[in-house]
Amino acid sequence: MVIYVVQSGDSLFSIAREYGVTVELLRAANQILPDQGLVVGQALVIPTDFVTHTVAPGDTLFTIARRYGTTVERLIDLNPLVQSNPNFLRVGQLITVPASEPSRSIVVNGYCYPEIPQSTLDITLPDLTFLSPFSYRVTAEGGLVPIDDARLIASAYRRNVAPVMVITNTRPTGGFDPDLVSTVLNDMTVQRTLIENVANTLNTKHYYGLNIDFEYIPPADREAYNAFLERVVARLRPIGYVLMTAVAPKLSADQPGQLYEAHDYPAHGRLMDYVVIMTYEWGYLYSPPMAVAPVDQVEAVLRYAVTAIPPQKILMGMPNYGYDWTLPHVSGTAASPISNVGAVRLAARTGSPIQFDQVARSPFFNYTAADGARHEVWFEDARSVQAKLNLVDQFGLAGVSYWTINQYFSQNWLVLRSMYDVTKRF
C-alpha cells in the first residue's frame, strides 16, 4: 500500500498508470464515485504490494529497509541482482521494496449503533477483534434498557469476532447523566441488581465480554466507581468474560474537570483486561474548527497513559468522522458531523483544495456554500490514520478502538491492514 497525494494535473488514469494498477481499483479503494473529480491535496491509497526505489547517494540496504519498514534480508530476496553482491549499490539503481508489511497483530474494537447497515457490518467485521454495539442504558433501579443487538451478535460470531456488551449512563434523550451514575455507584441494592442484570444479559445474549462506558461521573464518586469495578470483576471474571472500560483522554493523574477526575487510570489498568482511551473530540460539535484527534494531543495523552496503565491493555481511540463548521465560529453554534468519504466528495463538488496540518497530522479545507457562508471542514484521511496508527507501535499498545464503524471508510482499513494483522479471539 502506498499513500499518494494528488497534485495539480493528476488524473486517476495517470496515477493508475504510474503505479501499475487499474482506475477501477483506485476508485474502489478510495470510494470515488464515477462522476467525482480529484482534488489537489487529496490523499489516495494505492493498493500495491511493491514499489520501486531509486538508489540515491548515501543509500545502503539498511537505510532503505528502515525507510520502508522492512528488512535487509527481504530486500535481498526481492532483488536478484543484489543477491550476488549485497554490499554494492550504485546511484540510480532500481530496488524493489515491499510497499508495506504488517509489523505485528493488534486488538481492534469497533463501536457500532444497532442500525448499522448489514453490508457495512459484513465488510468491516474481518478487520475487528471485538464488536461493541452501543449501548445498554442503565436505570436508577439497576435495570438495563435493551437494544436490538441479535443481528449484530450473530453476524460477529459468523466472522470470528467477539461481541462485547456496552453499558452506559446515558439519558433516553442522549448525553451522559451524572446523577444517574452517582445513584448506581452509591446505592448497594441498585448496584447488586445492576451487576446481576448484566451477568444475565451477557449469558442470555451470548456476549463475549463487557465494556463499561460511564462518563461525567461526579469527582466525589471516584472511589465508588473503583469499588464498583472491583465488584464487576469479582462477579464476571471467574466465569470467563473479557472486561474493559472507556475513559476520558487525560494528560495527568490530577487533571481537573468532571469528564476526567473520576476516571482513575491506575485502578482501571489494574482491574480491566482492556482500557479504551477516547482520544478524540478535541474538535467537537460546539468547538471552534480544529482536528478531531490531533496527533500531537493524542501522543501527549498516551505519554501519560502508559505510566499509569500497562500499555498492553490500552486501546487507543480512533475517530471515524469529521465536522463541518460555519465561519466565523460563534460560541454555542453547532458544527455538522460529516463522514470522511463525504468530506472528500464535498471538497470535490466545491472545487476546494485539501490542506494538511503538519502538527495535527490532519486534513482540512475551506469552501463557500450556496448561501455565501464560508465553511471549514476537518476530517480523517489515509495520512492521519497512518500517523495515529504509528503511535500503537511507538507506545507498545494493545491496539485501537473505532468510534464508530457505522460509516465504511475503506482508506482506514487498507492502511490498518498494511501496518498490522488483527488479533482474533477464536
Catalytic residue set: 215
Among 147, 178, 423, residue whose Cα is nearest residue 312: 423
Half-sphere exposure of 323 (CA within 13 A, CB side): 22
226 phi/psi in degrees, rounded to 5: -60, -40
Q: CA–CA distance from 280 to each of 209, 316, 321 (Å)?
A: 24, 10, 10
H or E segment to which residue 205 belongs: helix 188-205
CB-based contact 250:304 (threshold 8 Å)? yes
**CB-CB neighbours of 130 under 10 Å:** 26
- Could you give the CA distance from residue 116 to residue 408 in angstroms, rounded to a whole number? 10
Among 311, 341, 312, 336, residue whose Cα is nearest residue 326: 336
Between strands 314-319 and 399-403, the pairing is: parallel
Strand ranges for 139-204 from DSSP E: 144-145, 162-168
- Could you give the CA distance from residue 227 to residue 266 in angstroms, rounded to a whole number? 13
Between strands 136-138 and 144-145, the pairing is: antiparallel
- Could you give the CA distance from residue 400 to residue 389 in angstroms, rounded to a whole number? 8
Q: Could you give the dihedral angle defined by the CA atoms of residues 276, 277, 280 and 285, in that order, rounded to the nearest 10 degrees?
A: 80
Listed in sequence order, the residues at least 6 apart from 20 whose beta carbon sits closer than 8 Å to its beta carbon are 48
- Could you give the CA distance from residue 192 to residue 213 in angstroms, rounded to a whole number? 18
407 phi/psi in degrees, rounded to 5: -105, 120
Q: What is the 3-state secondary structure (H, E, C) of 263-325?
A: CCHHHHHHHCCEEEECCCCCCCCCCCCCCCCCHHHHHHHHHHHHHHCCHHHEEEEEECCEEEE
